[in-house]
Structure 1
Amino acid sequence: MLRQGAAFLAALAMGTAPGPALAQTATHQVFSFNDLGMHCYDSSFAEFAILPPYNVVRGQVILRGQHPVILDNTQVNLTYRAAADPTGSINTTSRGKTNFWRYVQQLFGVSLPIDVGLKGARMPGANNQPQPFEAFDAQKGWFAAEGIPITAKDNNKLRNPLSLMRVEARDAATDVLLSSLDTVVPASDEMNCSNCHFTGRDAADAAIAQKYNITVPWSSSPVKAVMTKENIMILHDAVNQTNLSANRPVLCASCHYSAALDLEGQGPQGAQVGKPFLSHAIHSHHGMTVNHTLPDPDNPAIVSGNTSNACYQCHPGKNTKCLRGAMATAGLNCQNCHGGMLAVGGVFHLKTTGQPRRPWIDLPKCGSCHTGDALNHQGVSLILRLAYQRKDPAATPRNATNKRFAENDNTLYRFSLGHHGVACESCHGSPHAEWPTRPGTNDNLTAEQIQGHTGPIIECTVCHGDNLPRTMGGPHGLHNVDDRDWNQFHMFFFFQDNNNCKTCHGANLEGTVLSRAAADRNLIDYNHNPKFVPKGTIISCTLCHRDPRTF
């Protein structure tokens, strides 16, 4: 408690504090989101590097009104600076938290000052100086700060993979603060390769040395991360006849193409050509048996299991638990969306293309489980719990024919736009961290600041204020929400076309998962009596009046 109190006072001294954003006006609303929901980076760059500290935050600014307008970079400027979370944890600088800048020249061919990322984005620094969103994408209508080099340690060097940045929108002409919002900028170096590659364990013991004729000793480094990485290089050299150990530091993507590091979108180049993609190499190898054969009940994979814990062997992680969004709170795991190790590793070919899965491109889709509405959807359940056919070893993402909840065609969720150009992530949150996230995570703060409660952004007043006429033209065909006028006069829409009502409230108008109350509501029933509806209640017609089909 003393630590948190001291951190809180330090945060106040820097001009930030936990809780609701400081600038919310009746005229503007800023939205901001991380592109992936988690960014991994190496705990040490002295041996080899998979990923650098590199975080992408995007933002949109809405001019509120009956007909809201998405503003561009001639009208508003966006900046970010660190904000304290409810525990007082704040992360303004990466100085002293990583050795990335010591090796960045050797690994990436550029010389960078501390706190500056690969694309020029900066950490706010010790003085928590606001930093600009340098890019604006006119086609998407969003600002972007690309490559913020944040780490998973706060200013007290305590672990916090879900640090907050306060995104602030200012009038481009007057510099007046219009709106601000606290957003998680996630980062983690929790890659648990040491579970197997620590000296003396399964992938770094005498049996492995004998199997691959390894004559050099396994690492004796006192630093766990260094020992693990040195052992991986020793094993890679023995199995693949490379000489990585003598040429450190090594960028893995220099030989194995990774779309995550292809900042110019050029595809495989030079030494990458003809070699497995980095994601394929890692996932396919660890999804096979120790003898490089397909696993079976008697011969398990190197990394086996059908829960997120299997993924947390390498991805962050059993402590970070980067899968924390709506799917996690619904009891799903990584494999429900992505399939198993061999599917991700491209061992099996997709049914749609006949080719191996392309890492970072051929990903599960919202429409793979949210296949439609109550009147038109695939499968028995309105919302499926597996993004592909169960017997498909490639885990080919299902394509929805009813596009009500699907992304834009041939576009990933993180690049898709929804209601009148608003980014899907503006209203639903980042991948792996869709609202509501797991209790205790900082992600929910963003939704709470926007609309007063967590969950997808559903309150019409966020963008429209209090002057929205009755409509069924909202996101995904939604009607006015928490609106007394709609509450009392929505019957006219039912008699015009009751199928529009049934898409969410069900064919029998008894309510479905799509018609749950997103927050506590105070309605008026048919007899003009107050009707309290708790959050989570499935709204049916008979909740407030008799079945309208009998009127």
Structure 2
Amino acid sequence: MAPVASEADCQNCHVDPIDCADPRLPADLQSTQCTGAAVFQTPFQVATIDDAPGDTPEQKLLNAAKINILRLHDAKHGAKYRNWDSNKQLVSMVCDAAADPNDPDCLDNQRPIQCSRCHYSPALDLAQAGPVDEPEQGLQGRQQTYHVSMSRAMHEHHGTLPPYNGQTLFPSMPSPAGRDPQVAEQVLEQTCYQCHPGKRTQCLRGAMFSGGVVCQDCHGDMEQVGNDFSLKVSTSNPGDFVLDGSLRVPWANEPMCQSCHAGDALNPNHPAGAIVADDGIRLLQAYVTQQITVPGVGQPVKIAAVHHAPGSRFAENQGKNANGQTVDVLYRLSKGHGGIKCEGCHNSTHAIWPNANPFANDNIAAEQLQGHAGTLIECTTCHEPTDKGLPLELEGPHGMHPIADYNGPDQRWNDKHEDVFEKSGKAACQSCHGVNGEGTVLSRTAAERKLKCKNSKGSLCTSGQKFVTVAKGTPIGCANCHENELIKGGD
């Protein structure tokens, strides 16, 4: 059977719409929205919920869709099928299901079958060998250098489909600037979440999702994702992979933290054409859309040109590839403060802490380690609050200073941070606390804090007040607890 996640909605296009509304299905799976777009336009014998294998109506519906995908593939491409013969040569082995439904050269008659036999996927290439051919394996041997990647076969094909009966099958995601969250969720359901686990599994969750970020904001639309390094490859042009960096390699060339977190308050480092968030620091989209020229390709190629800011305090690591070239290291493999993996403090790529659901399992680790959800930001989680174990310097993750809280075990920064200000200069403070010390998203409190009032000139401190309680999420500025030294003067 074609390997498709059980949460995928292939049935929306790949079964007869009558089957989608079958009353034997669970109520939450019954639908009148299935289009039949992929079973009515190309003639083939359509599998139905009544003749597909499976123990339940739901399994039969999903399996009918998978069978129809194989039969559609046979109907559209069977005349061009090739396979390895006993002499290890790739020869024509035509599938003609219309003439012989049991034709052994048809994919539908080779079930179970793995798409990666022809379409390379780095996700399955644990040895990182790249696309390979296996003529010695005969009929089951891989022939990946003769075909586009699995990512291109899926994303580019579906992303460029014309409307069906006046209906756009995969609508475009609106720009993130001023986007209606409900519209974004609807488009997400009709695009990425038709195949990727999201509606129930919620692979994309956490801080970015809570902030309104969706798949297209980082990766681009389906056409952009599909225009990858295998764009020029075909059975008549095998192995012509584009590896000059202009086209993405799935799972290897991905958007990075630095793509949106390109700088700080003092040096925003916004690239040309970037969509900037209201805070004036972060970006709302990790790339700019470009039409590029690829040698040997007649038409311009639409790509998502990801922003690179290797000098950002939030940048991932860099390393050398096999050719000695400097390349970016993926977030999940990058390390930061003390050699700790970035994921150790921020969690996994699509589930960055915190999860907005206060009862989510995602939050448990941080709550147990530091007492509240979110990025591991409390220095005393790992360090003893002493001048030796935790010096009052800007040597924390991303150039942070120790966190001060009179509710916690370490109050030294609140008492003595002026020493660092005098030593390091105001620029060190402005990077996160704002050019004028007004406070920014980079200086927001991760939890409720109790801070000492230095004098009554602080905006949160009245005359004679010794301490002030600051709510979670408050941007800490230089004028909260005392007069603003950044405005007052200094270098």
Name which of 398, 403, 415 aligns with 2:333. Answer: 415
Partner Cα separation in structure 2 for residue 199 and residue 346 of structure 1: 30
* 8 A contact 1:388–1:398 mirrored in 2: yes
1:37-62 CA-to-partner distances (Å, cap 9, x unmatched) read xxxxxxxxxx12257xxxxxxxxxxx
**Distance change in 2, residues 1:353/1:398 (3 Å):** farther
DSSP-derived class of the 2:313 partner:
helix
**Distance change in 2, residues 1:276/1:539 (3 Å):** same
Computing the radius of gyration over CA atoms, which structure comes out larger, 1 or 2? Answer: 2
DSSP-derived class of the 2:415 partner:
helix
Per-residue deviation, 1:539: 0.2
**Corresponding residue of 2:110:** 247
Name which of 234, 248, 257 aligns with 2:71. Answer: 234
Whether 2:480 is the aligned partner of 1:543: answer yes
Name which of 156, 160, 164 aligns with 1:284. Answer: 156
1:248-283 CA-to-partner distances (Å, cap 9, x unmatched) read 001111211111111111111111112011111001
- Name the amino acid aligned to 1:262: D
* 8 A contact 2:15–2:47 mirrored in 1: no
**Corresponding residue of 2:285:** 386
- Name the amino acid aligned to 1:321: Q
Partner Cα separation in structure 1 for residue 363 and residue 434 of structure 2: 29
Name which of 28, 37, 42 aligns with 1:212. Answer: 42
Partner Cα separation in structure 2 for residue 506 and residue 251 of structure 1: 54
- Name the amino acid aligned to 1:408: N
Per-residue deviation, 1:446: 1.8
**Corresponding residue of 1:530:** 467
Partner Cα separation in structure 2 for residue 544 and residue 210 of structure 1: 69
Whether 2:265 is the aligned partner of 1:374: answer yes
- The worse-fitting range, judged by mean Cα deviation, of 396-405 and 539-548 is 396-405
Partner Cα separation in structure 1 for residue 168 and residue 145 of structure 2: 28
Please provide the CA RMSD for this pair: 2.6
1:291-320 CA-to-partner distances (Å, cap 9, x unmatched) read 8xxx9xx97764223142221111112222
Partner Cα separation in structure 2 for residue 465 and residue 300 of structure 1: 61
Whether 2:202 is the aligned partner of 1:321: answer yes
Partner Cα separation in structure 2 for residue 304 and residue 460 of structure 1: 45
Whether 2:313 is the aligned partner of 1:432: answer no
Per-residue deviation, 1:383: 0.5
- The worse-fitting range, judged by mean Cα deviation, of 227-236 and 389-398 is 389-398
Name which of 464, 473, 479 aligns with 2:401. Answer: 479
1:157-206 CA-to-partner distances (Å, cap 9, x unmatched) read xxxxxxxxxxxxxxxxxxxxxxxxxxxxxxxx41121222233379885x
Name which of 509, 519, 527 aligns with 2:437. Answer: 509
Per-residue deviation, 1:425: 0.3
**Distance change in 2, residues 1:277/1:224 (3 Å):** same
Whether 2:328 is the aligned partner of 1:444: answer no
**Corresponding residue of 2:238:** none
**Distance change in 2, residues 1:396/1:514 (3 Å):** same
Query: Which sections of structure 1, spanning at least 5 residues, go unmatched?
Result: 1-46, 52-188
**Corresponding residue of 2:226:** 345
- What is the number of residues matched between the two proteins? 361
- Name the amino acid aligned to 2:446: A
DSSP-derived class of the 1:433 partner:
coil
**Corresponding residue of 1:305:** 172
1:122-158 CA-to-partner distances (Å, cap 9, x unmatched) read xxxxxxxxxxxxxxxxxxxxxxxxxxxxxxxxxxxxx
* 8 A contact 2:16–2:39 mirrored in 1: no
When normalised by structure 2's length, the TM-score is: 0.68
**Corresponding residue of 2:8:** 191
* 8 A contact 2:118–2:147 mirrored in 1: yes
DSSP-derived class of the 1:231 partner:
helix
**Corresponding residue of 2:391:** 469
Partner Cα separation in structure 2 for residue 456 and residue 537 of structure 1: 16
Partner Cα separation in structure 2 for residue 204 and residue 368 of structure 1: 37
**Distance change in 2, residues 1:204/1:227 (3 Å):** farther
Per-residue deviation, 1:211: 3.5
DSSP-derived class of the 1:420 partner:
helix
**Corresponding residue of 1:27:** none
* 8 A contact 1:288–1:302 mirrored in 2: no
**Distance change in 2, residues 1:217/1:261 (3 Å):** closer
- Name the amino acid aligned to 1:212: T
Partner Cα separation in structure 2 for residue 229 and residue 352 of structure 1: 33
Name which of 211, 217, 230 aligns with 1:330. Answer: 211
DSSP-derived class of the 1:239 partner:
helix
**Distance change in 2, residues 1:346/1:481 (3 Å):** same
DSSP-derived class of the 1:434 partner:
coil
DSSP-derived class of the 2:305 partner:
coil
Per-residue deviation, 1:209: 5.0
Per-residue deviation, 1:508: 0.3
* 8 A contact 2:392–2:420 mirrored in 1: no
Per-residue deviation, 1:445: 1.4
- Name the amino acid aligned to 2:430: K
* 8 A contact 2:317–2:329 mirrored in 1: yes
- Name the amino acid aligned to 1:265: Q
Alignment of 1:44-83 (within 5 A): 47-49=1-3
- Name the amino acid aligned to 1:225: L
Partner Cα separation in structure 1 for residue 477 and residue 115 of structure 2: 55
DSSP-derived class of the 2:421 partner:
helix
Sequence identity percentage: 43
**Distance change in 2, residues 1:507/1:455 (3 Å):** same
Whether 2:306 is the aligned partner of 1:397: answer yes
**Corresponding residue of 1:265:** 128
* 8 A contact 1:199–1:227 mirrored in 2: no
* 8 A contact 1:364–1:387 mirrored in 2: yes
Query: Which sections of structure 2, spanning at least 5 residues, go unmatched?
Result: 19-32, 79-94, 96-105, 134-142, 174-186, 232-241, 271-275, 292-301, 319-327, 405-409, 456-464
If each structure's strand is expressed as a fraction of its own residues, which one has the higher value? 1
**Distance change in 2, residues 1:299/1:280 (3 Å):** farther
When normalised by structure 1's length, the TM-score is: 0.61
Per-residue deviation, 1:212: 2.2
**Corresponding residue of 2:178:** none
Per-residue deviation, 1:548: 1.4
Partner Cα separation in structure 2 for residue 352 and residue 475 of structure 1: 34
Whether 2:358 is the aligned partner of 1:459: answer no
DSSP-derived class of the 1:375 partner:
coil
Per-residue deviation, 1:545: 0.4
